[in-house]
């Protein structure tokens, strides 16, 4: 791609060459802006991919990490089941009346 002519050169060139020079300038501006837009899109996609990886990693860490809160919630689920407690009470009552 030929280098862009300075603005003062356009003023001193013959009239017949000016449209070609302006066309070259417009084309080079279009190529440059397309290149910048493509780089911007790649950069945005890369940032989004990194963000998705970070969110997934934090979610996996939160699920896999065991701590006191996780251990306590497991114990609560296994021992604080009210329906299971009521069934045990009913079984005990039936056993108490059937043995007498």
The pLDDT tens digits for 15-53 are: 667 777 778 888 888 999 999 999 999 999 999 999 999
What is the per-residue pLDDT for 16?
66
Q: How many CB atoms lie within 10 A of CB 24?
A: 15
pLDDT digits (tens, 9 = 90+) for 60-93: 887 777 666 666 665 565 566 777 777 788 888 8
Higher pLDDT, 68 or 95: 95
Buried-exposed string 59-75: b where 16+ CB fall within 10 A, e elsewhere: eeeeeeeeeeeeeeeee
pTM of the shown model? 0.42
């Amino acid at each position: 791609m030929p280098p862009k002519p300075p603005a003062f050169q356009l003023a001193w060139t013959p009239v017949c060459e000016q449209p070609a020079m302006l066309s070259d300038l417009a084309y080079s501006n279009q190529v440059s802006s397309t290149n910048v837009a493509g780089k911007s899109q790649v950069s945005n996609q890369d940032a989004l991919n990194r963000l998705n990886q970070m969110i997934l990693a934090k979610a996996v860490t939160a699920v896999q990490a065991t701590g006191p809160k996780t251990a306590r919630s497991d114990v609560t689920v296994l021992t604080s089941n009210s329906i299971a407690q009521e069934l045990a009470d009913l079984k005990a009552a039936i056993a108490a009346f059937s043995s007498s």
